[in-house]
Structure 1
Amino acid sequence: MRTRDPETKRRLLLEAALEEFAESGVAGARIDRIARRAGISAGLIYSFYDNKDSLFEAVHDLIVEQTVATVPIDADSLPEYAAGLHDAAGAHPVVPRFLTWYRLERGAAATTRASTAAAMREKVEAIAAAQLRGTVSARYTPAQTLALVLAVANMWHSQAGESVDLVPAADRRATVVDAVRRLTQE
């Protein structure tokens, strides 16, 4: 069913772009394929975004926004936060794949993007406050702690092959929780 609702079309466009970029990166993605997936004309894409790169950035910003909203950090419970991130990546495997392409395509700029920098800054501040309260170990700086938590939370989704297959899927979440607990306790 066709709709003239621009917000619905924008949502469909972003969902289609996420799929296309996750498969092909920005360089390999094609506007005509994104339009076809979204069920819109290729020309309509340009009424929302200037070019393919700006659409790529919009998809990234949406992922950051949705992740912050659906898996908010609780610095006093970092093992559960890591489990939430692990669960989200498992429920939406296209997202970690997109983020891998994003880091490959954007390099250092990926961490300086305003949406990412703001989200990371808030998380580091939350961890610093938890360290002051004594609920998180001060063994590592807040930024180091965050980097470790994120790495552990996403480790099963950022690699493939035998190392992942050696651990049954049912045990992966428990491993994330236990590892982050050990990293963040005194």
Structure 2
Amino acid sequence: MSDSPAPPATPANAPVRSPRPRDAEATKALLLRAATEEFAEHGFAGARIDRIAERAGANKRLLYVYFGDKQALFDAVVADQAVGVFRAAPMDDGDLVAFAAARFDYVLAHPEAGRIAAWRAFEQLAATETEIANFRSRVDAVAAAQRAGRVRADLPAIDLFAIVLRMTDSWISAPPALRAVGTTPPLSPTRLREHRAALLAAVRGVVEPHP
């Protein structure tokens, strides 16, 4: 007979706890969100896998299981951001003014999208297939609008789109010294409304067909 104490009895009304099944998709989404925050703050080179796992409250091993290496994870973040912008600012009809308004609003509401784009351009990382396909569809839409006479046709479609794309970032990514020149706080609702109106007027002036 063993002298070891018997385990404490379980109360009759105690809830029965069953193991909680792992939600792979939820964990993957948490890791992707944590990676988005980490890359937005530190760029590709400065991001750390340990910090991403800690942000997500997940085991680091799962990050490699779901995404592979650091480059594959960054590509997944970039693709996710590209899909977000693409959905928020569609341009099937080549309407560059509507695109500029929608993209400005989206990047303002999702600053991580602009920061990740800036980091990847600075670090000169290769474009993903998702990005290339999205941009090609937009340039094709501009070209179709040019053929239909809705958009000026004296500039190549790819250049016209590139110009408008940068215009949408003109205030959000403006140098701090330029922002300080204004008389209102640079990101105040008043200043943002003023800039948005100026942005759309400028885009109209750039893209409308010449008589």
TM-score > 0.5 by shorter chain = yes
Shift of 1:16: 0.6
Residue of structure 2 equivalent to 1:128: 143
- Aligned AA (2:137): E
Preserved CA contact (<8 Å) 1:75 1:136:
no
Identify if the C-alpha distance between structure 1 residues 26 and 3 changes in structure 2 by more than 3 Å, giving closer, same or farther: farther
What CA distance in whole angstroms lies between the structure 2 residues aligned with 1:10 and 1:71?
26
C-alpha distance in 1 between matches for 2:208 and 2:173: 25
Two-structure CA RMSD over aligned residues (Å): 1.7
Question: TM-score, normalised to structure 2's length?
Answer: 0.81
User: How many residues in Structure 1 have an aligned counterpart in Structure 2?
Assistant: 182
> 2:192 matched to 1:177?
no
4+ runs deviating over 6 angstroms: none
Q: Map Cα deviations across residues 9-58 of structure 1 (whole Å, 9 max, x no partner).
A: 11111111011011111111111110111121111111112211110111
Instruction: Please identify the structure whose Cα radius of gyration is greater.
Output: 2
Q: Which runs of 5+ in 1 are unaligned?
A: none
Q: Which runs of 5+ in 2 are unaligned?
A: 1-19
Q: Deviations 1:137-165 (Å, cap 9, x if unpaired)? A: 11211101110110111222223313234
Q: 2:129 aligns with which of 109, 114, 131?
A: 114
Q: Percent identity?
A: 38
- For residues 165-184 of structure 1, the C-alpha deviation after alignment (integer angstroms, 9 at most, x for no partner) is 43622211112111111110
Residue equivalent to 2:64: 46
Using the alignment, how far apart are the partners of 1:106 and 1:87 within structure 2?
26
Q: Do the aligned partners of residues 3 and 99 (structure 1) sit closer, same or farther apart at CA in structure 2, a change above 3 Å counting?
A: farther
Higher helix share goes to which structure?
Answer: 1
SS in 2 for 1:156: coil
Distance 1:143 1:6, change over 3 A: same
Alpha-carbon separation, structure 2, partners of 1:58 and 1:157: 24
